[in-house]
Structure 1
Amino acid sequence: MTAQVALIVLSAAFLHALWNALVKGAGDRVIMLGMMALGHVAFALTFIGFVPIPDPSAWPFMIASVAIHWLYFYFLSVAYRLGDLSFIYPVARGFAPVLVALGAQFWVGETLPLQAWIGIFSVSAGIMFLAQGAFSATISRNALFAALAVGGTVVAYTLVDGFGVRTSGSALGYIGWLFLSKILIVLFLFPSRLDRLRAQPPRMLLIGFMGGVVSGTAYALVLYAKTIAPLGIVSALRETSVIFAALIGVLWFGEGPRARRLMSAAAVGAGIIFIGLVR
């Protein structure tokens, strides 16, 4: 793992945790997610006219990605209505690195060294420990199932976009057209919810829109990293976002217990450092 890739994905991880916090803190999460999709579109419009159109072989991946991201946004909204940021986020992200690495090895033949696999399993284990008690009777079953559904869509879009951006012939072209297509999500959400949209304070709408720009920037960085590094390693390193989310959950929303969440976040960080040493 080069320092360049590590810095790119770490930056994306922080931005990803930040926009998840914005969603969690929103009053109407459906409207917030719609504004974020609109932010993706605006982000794409800033550069799409200056980059090549992706190769036709990449378009099926983009279409599939939009459908999967719609499910992702839906399950994310449900999950944050039912559970804490510091619970939902690690459950949703915990098993993604291992499944992404296995999927990349199965479909595109990305073979990782033993050290990388140890690091990936360590990251996933540390993340799941962060959500210790997820399968206890005190946790809402619905919140758990929603978080697992979010995780499933994370694995799906990570693999689909990883393959798509590599076949596109232009990473920026793929990113631009993928984000521009999020207008379909906006058109699905807003027309039937105009009263709810008008009822939102302008400040919340602006936060949602800027959250979309932030999340778009984060995902663009990750997609670029996928063109120069193995998908499994990028996915695992991206989960440093859990560390940032745990800190945001504790310091911003006052979620607890603090000690376990902070210790688990530190364990994830150690696993990611281990991955970063892979050559």
Structure 2
Amino acid sequence: MRGTSPLLVPVIGVLLLNESVTLQGWIGILCIVAGIFLVGDRNSKGITILFNKSIFIALLVGIMITAYTVTDKVTLEYFPPYTLNWATNVGNLLTLTFIALKSQDLRHEWKINWKTILLGGILSSGGYILFLKALEIMPVSQMAPMREIGTVFGTLMGIFILQEQQGRSRIVASILITAGIVLLAQ
């Protein structure tokens, strides 16, 4: 799911938004996508992976991420990041309130995890505003793949904070993603 957007957004940025990516940048993008692939579940073998329902749904989500990322870039030509963030939050409120209220588990979940829910809401909004500010000044072809640095931080937090046993492929993936970001940033 996360690997689709870092590949498609630069292609759309170059083809439709008149952005350019250097050869070194494309190598960086491929490193990022390869790193994300290494993090993913590779239990499916061969061509059957294309017909796996979860892979298909993940691909659709990746296409949606691509669409809203490119839309964000175009929208930032007309509205500042804070206005776009506000509009996004209003849209989320309107579309998700009914679903959330319909769930019988909402009150129970809030009672147990209210601190985590509030912290996640603040961090998510803050991260989105920072991304929009960066997107305002940088090409979307660079910013979309660089957003995947979160995978690296997630791996590091898993190792050092949660004491998870990270497989060699996750560490290699983090190195690839970091190298890709460095190549893309230059």
Match of 2:129 in 1: 220
In 2, are the aligned partners of 1:96 and 1:124 still within 8 Å (CA)? Answer: no
Match of 2:173 among 234, 256, 264: 264
| Secondary structure, counterpart of 1:227 in structure 2 | helix
Q: Within the alignment, does 1:190 sit opposite 2:100 as a pair?
A: yes
Q: Within the alignment, does 1:154 sit opposite 2:90 as a pair?
A: no
Unaligned runs of 5+ in 1: 1-91
In 1, are the aligned partners of 2:5 and 2:62 still within 8 Å (CA)? Answer: yes
| Secondary structure, counterpart of 2:21 in structure 1 | coil
| Number of equivalent positions | 183
Match of 1:209 in 2: 118
Match of 1:108 in 2: 17
Q: More displaced, 260-269 or 245-254?
A: 245-254
The structure-2 alpha-carbon separation of the partners of 1:129 and 1:120, relative to structure 1 and needing over 3 Å to count, comes to same
Report deviation, 1:250: 5.2
The structure-2 alpha-carbon separation of the partners of 1:253 and 1:148, relative to structure 1 and needing over 3 Å to count, comes to farther
Report deviation, 1:255: 5.9
Rounded Cα–Cα distance in structure 2 between residues aligned with 1:162 and 1:94: 19
- RMSD across aligned positions (CA): 2.6
Rounded Cα–Cα distance in structure 2 between residues aligned with 1:167 and 1:134: 44
Q: Which amino acid aligns with 2:108?
A: A
Report deviation, 1:248: 4.1
| Secondary structure, counterpart of 1:182 in structure 2 | helix
| Secondary structure, counterpart of 2:20 in structure 1 | coil
The structure-2 alpha-carbon separation of the partners of 1:164 and 1:134, relative to structure 1 and needing over 3 Å to count, comes to farther
Rounded Cα–Cα distance in structure 1 between residues aligned with 2:149 and 2:168: 18
The structure-2 alpha-carbon separation of the partners of 1:253 and 1:199, relative to structure 1 and needing over 3 Å to count, comes to farther
The structure-2 alpha-carbon separation of the partners of 1:272 and 1:106, relative to structure 1 and needing over 3 Å to count, comes to same
TM-score norm. by structure 1 comes to 0.58
Q: How do 1:100-179 residues align onto structure 2 when only pairs under 5 Å count?
A: 100-131=9-40, 133=42, 135-136=44-45, 141-168=52-79, 170-179=80-89
Unaligned runs of 5+ in 2: none
| Secondary structure, counterpart of 2:137 in structure 1 | coil
| Secondary structure, counterpart of 1:155 in structure 2 | helix
TM-score norm. by structure 2 comes to 0.84
| Secondary structure, counterpart of 2:2 in structure 1 | helix
